[in-house]
Amino acid sequence: MARVRVEATSTQITVEGKTYDTDEWMNAPSSILSSIPRRLHLQPDHPITITRKLIESRFPAPTYQKHNTLFPIVSVAQNFDSLGFPTDHVGRSRNDTYYINKSTVLRTHTSAHQADTFRANTSEGFLISADVYRRDAIDRSHYPIFHQMEGARTWSRSAVPEGTTLARQVWDDLKTIPKHDLVVEDPNPSFHPDRNPLQSDRHSPEEAEAVATHLKRSLEDVVVTIFSAARAAAAAAARGGFSAPTSEPLKVRWVEAYFPFTSPSWELEVFWQNDWLEVLGCGVVQQRLLDSAGVPDRVGWAFGIGLERIAMLLFEIPDIRLFWSRDPRFLDQFRERVDGKITRFKEFSKYPPAPRDVAFWLPKSTAAASTPDSRNEPHSAPNPAGGLAPESASNAPASSTTTNSPSASVSSTSAPPPSTASSSTAATTHPPFHENDLTELVRATAGDLAESVTLIDAFAHPKTGRQSRCYRIVYRSLERTLTSEEVAGLHERIGRELVARWGVELR
Ligand code: DAH
């Protein structure tokens, strides 16, 4: 296991020498905290590292400064407030975010470091690559820890030489970005008063147009680099008889989007294997963010991209758990190469899946809170960076800390849930059940042997109104065949815990 010491007294945890007070908001299990030292994006020859370096190669120093070792425990102010997230944003929920205490979280995105990096003001541009953490679904493209890269580029108004304008300087800088022969669909105007507004009190239309063009061209260049490498790898595999290469021109499109910290904003989609695939989110940085960061005279853009999704398509890695494998049959397949060439992953063997269903009645009082919500979308869809979906459906109330079983050395408190919990549940002894609680229970019990958790049935009893749920849990090891006794043991434990923690009745 990792060499981290997650020490806990009843009210504190220590992670890599840093000590934090915990309170009733704490919901970060030790399995998550002990993975902090893995830092896959820094492991030599790891596919996440190779992917990071490929993208970094398009943003040269000294214009772009790289920050790859920022610590993952941040303040709520850094992760949400500094970026203009409304106080009731669903991303702040304890169902979605790991809290250490009321004002401290495991960062949910690399944007958490935007304000500080702008404030440091040590370069015109930056790239931040890091591990990010979210409570979420279990399937082949979701893992509670993944990696993102944040990028930004700003220009200082006060540094614009006499006789020129900021817009003209941005157009000038654009000339250094390599030309490409990508087919780009960009049907919308750069800004739109209702759908995608210009920050008209601070930016002239010419400035926003220039910044948006610089942003889009920079990111199109990234996409050309990534997808050319992916195609070359696919073609090489095809020559080996694996699959057919494609000769169609690469196609991308810009889609209007919304983020609290940019305006106008976009997502970039790439036509890949017959589908539009969202790869990143970006936009013109909100001027109030730059004001608060003490650099009001700077104007520029930012983007965020999820590295797992890119690495999975680059190397054809079929399951996100593989990135965490320590099996040399996985790790030894990847090498950083100076020519940027990618060799595709070869499955070392396939072990059989073991699906098991768990069906239960919810206690009456929690039925309302347990409605499956729509936020268990893939990290990268609808929001490409593994995103905090800007308009996602509102979530169930937060559940009590006891639901997250910070086991072993991390203490669990018996304090009542924070005030965000539904007051209607006050009469019951069990916290309301939320789908992400089951996800986490499965992870805590089965670890990386859990491949997916899917809701397969939900209904209300016609007479009593009681809510029923049935979930299918697929157990599968990537490294060996599981015995049926082993699977039965895990599955029974999960059933027992469901009863003990949420008061459900197994059916
Ligand atoms: N932080 C966003 C997410 O996790 C991604 C993102 C979108 C980053 C737009 C940006 C940006 O810098 O401008 O979904």
CA distances from 3 to 16, 36, 130, 144, 445 (A): 9, 10, 19, 20, 21
Q: What is the pLDDT at residue 241? A: 57
For residue 264 and ligand 1, the question of a CB distance below 6 A is answered with no
pLDDT (0 to 100) of residue 168: 97
**416 pLDDT band (50/70/90 cuts)?**
very low
pTM: 0.85
> Ligand 1 in contact with 150 (CB < 6 A)?
yes
Does residue 478 have a pLDDT over 80? yes
Choose the weakest-confidence range: 25-29, 128-132, 232-236, 363-367: 363-367
Please give the pLDDT value at position 392.
Answer: 31
Architecture of the domain made up of 39-72+107-331: 2-Layer Sandwich (3.30)
Does any ligand 1 atom lie closer than 6 A to the CB of residue 283?
yes
Which residue CA neighbors atom 13 of ligand 1 most closely? 282
**Tens digits of per-residue pLDDT, 194-237?**
999 999 999 999 999 999 999 999 999 999 999 899 888 888 88
- pLDDT for 340 equals 83
Residue 429: what pLDDT?
A: 80
pLDDT of residue 450: 96
Give 354-506's CATH code, choosing from 3.40.50.80, 3.20.20.210, 3.30.70.380, 3.10.580.10: 3.30.70.380
Lowest mean pLDDT among 133-137, 284-288, 407-411: 407-411
Angstrom CA distances, 413 to 22, 30, 422, stand at 9, 14, 19
pLDDT at 408: 27
At 338 the pLDDT is 86
Asked if 434 and 59 touch (Cβ cutoff 8 Å), the reply is no
Q: For the chain, give every domain's residue range.
A: 39-72+107-331, 354-506
Query: Would you say the CB of residue 260 lies under 6 angstroms from ligand 1?
Result: no
The per-residue pLDDT for 71 is: 98
Judged by average pLDDT, the poorest of 50-59, 174-183, 361-370 is 361-370
Residue 282 Cβ inside 6 Å of ligand 1? The answer reads yes
Of the candidates 289, 269, 290, 270, which has an alpha carbon nearest to the alpha carbon of residue 281? Answer: 269
What's the confidence (pLDDT) of residue 242? 54
The phi and psi torsions of 353 (rounded to 5 degrees) equal -75, 150
Expressed in angstroms and rounded, the spacing between residue 111 Cα and the centre of ligand 1 is: 6
Ligand 1 center–CA 423 separation, angstroms:
33
Ligand 1 pocket member 303 (CB < 6 A): yes
45: left (phi over 0), alpha (psi -120 to 50) or beta: left
% of residues, the chain, pLDDT over 70 = 84
> pLDDT by residue (tens digit) across 385-400?
644 333 332 333 233 2
Ligand 1 neighbourhood includes 47 CB (under 6 angstroms)? no
259 lines ligand 1 (CB under 6 A): yes
pLDDT band at 481 (very low <50, low <70, confident <90, very high): very high
Q: Cβ(281) to ligand 1 under 6 A?
A: yes
State the distance from the centre of ligand 1 to the C-alpha of 378, rounded, in angstroms.
15
Asked whether the predicted pLDDT for residue 132 surpasses 90, the reply is: yes
* Tokens representing residue 21 in the block: 């007070």
Tokens matching residue 417 = 């849930």
What is the tens place of the pLDDT at every residue in 59-110?
Answer: 999 999 999 999 999 999 999 999 999 999 999 999 999 999 999 999 999 9
Q: What is the mean pLDDT of the chain?
A: 87
Which pLDDT belongs to residue 272?
A: 87
Task: Give the pLDDT of residue 348.
Answer: 87
Mutate to test the pocket of ligand 1, among 82, 108, 111 (most ligand atoms within 8 A of CB): 111
For ligand 1, mutation pick of 259, 269, 391 (most atoms within 8 Å of CB): 259
Q: Is the pLDDT of residue 377 over 90?
A: no
pLDDT of the residue at 29: 95
